[in-house]
């Protein structure tokens, strides 16, 4: 991968600036720094390696050189989009899941920000906002996809099992093709950010629908219930053992182990 191949591969898409780095700390950090300048909507940062890739809550995201897709997209939301920005993570997860499904992979979304294949994590998404006073100026959408087998971290370092596209397809696809497919679907779906169609599509690909799950967030006891769907802002909805409906805005979802 290099700057020329990247630009050539993405030339038909209506993107802003495109920057390639052989090695970088985190593409999200670079995008956040650029977002503060006059960088146009749909500008893209791509790296062949991340040395300080981040997940939520400053967890580490591994991107060994030459094995994975690590990119960040800078969105400058319109006034119409601004009330719907909590849905951005769903838009990105849908773009990844739907583009992988076109390759015959049964990709699902583990709320809020992971894409799974056969119950294992193949992609993580990190959305971060740049505020200007009370207003969101920019949203950075960071996407990490495990493409080659070597991108998958050792299982003892993981909270949730992981996989790669190479493992699932039998051969590693071209990273540039994966990136182009994801961006194409993202751009196609973006008008739905402001419609409930997005929520319906997102819900239709949710992993663990109807199943008994637990949601962990911080030190409070896990919330347990059957996964029933999504709220219009993208929050997760559960039904607990008393039949009450619970709305969850942040956390890590997993199937409830049998007692």
**Can you tell me which of 26, 67, 88, 108 binds ligand BT5, judged by CB under 6 A?**
26
Q: Which two tokens stand for residue 41?
A: 């909507």
Asked if 90 interacts with ligand BT5 (CB under 6 A), we say no
User: How many CA atoms does the CB half-sphere of 93 hold within 13 Å?
Assistant: 31
Asked if 53 interacts with ligand BT5 (CB under 6 A), we say yes
Site for ligand BT5 in 118-137 (CB under 6 A): 121, 124-126
Task: Give 99-102's long-range contacts (Cβ < 8 A, gap of 24+).
Answer: 99/178, 99/181, 99/182, 99/184, 99/185, 100/165, 102/181
Asked if 162 interacts with ligand BT5 (CB under 6 A), we say yes
Q: Which stretch binds ligand BT5 (CB under 6 A): 77-85, 157-165, 175-183, 219-227?
A: 157-165
- Tokens 């959408």, residue located: 141
**Can you tell me which of 88, 113, 127, 148 binds ligand BT5, judged by CB under 6 A?**
113
Nearer to ligand BT5, 98 or 114 (CB): 114
**Residue nearest ligand BT5, CB atom distance:** 124
User: How many CA atoms does the CB half-sphere of 160 hold within 13 Å?
Assistant: 20
Contact 49, 65 (CB under 8 A): yes
What is the C-alpha separation between 176 and 13, in angstroms, rounded?
13
Contacts to ligand BT5 by CB under 6 A: 26-28, 50, 53-56, 59-62, 70-72, 113-114, 121, 124-126, 142-144, 146, 151-153, 158-159, 162
């Amino acid at each position: 991968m290099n700057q020329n191949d990247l630009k050539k591969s993405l030339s038909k898409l209506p993107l802003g600036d495109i920057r390639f780095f052989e090695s970088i700390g985190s593409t999200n950090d670079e995008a956040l720094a650029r977002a503060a300048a006059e960088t146009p909507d749909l500008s893209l940062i791509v790296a062949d390696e991340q040395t300080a890739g981040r997940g939520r809550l400053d967890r580490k995201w591994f991107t060994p050189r030459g094995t994975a897709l690590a990119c960040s997209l800078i969105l400058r939301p319109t006034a119409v989009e601004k009330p719907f920005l909590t849905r951005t993570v769903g838009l990105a997860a849908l773009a990844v899941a739907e583009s992988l499904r076109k390759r015959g992979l049964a990709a699902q979304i583990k709320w809020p920000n992971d894409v799974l294949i056969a119950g294992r994590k193949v992609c993580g998404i990190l959305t971060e906002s740049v505020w200007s006073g009370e207003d969101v100026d920019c949203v950075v959408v960071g996407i990490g996809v495990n493409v080659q087998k070597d991108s998958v971290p050792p299982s003892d370092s993981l909270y949730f099992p992981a996989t790669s596209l190479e493992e699932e397809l039998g051969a590693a696809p071209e990273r540039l093709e994966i990136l182009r497919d994801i961006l194409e679907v993202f751009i196609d779906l973006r008008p739905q950010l402001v419609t409930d169609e997005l929520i319906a599509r997102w819900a239709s690909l949710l992993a663990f629908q109807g199943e008994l799950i637990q949601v962990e967030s911080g030190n409070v006891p896990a919330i347990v219930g059957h996964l029933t769907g999504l709220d219009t802002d993208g929050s997760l909805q559960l039904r607990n053992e008393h039949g009450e409906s619970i709305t969850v805005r942040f956390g890590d979802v997993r199937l409830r182990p049998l007692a």
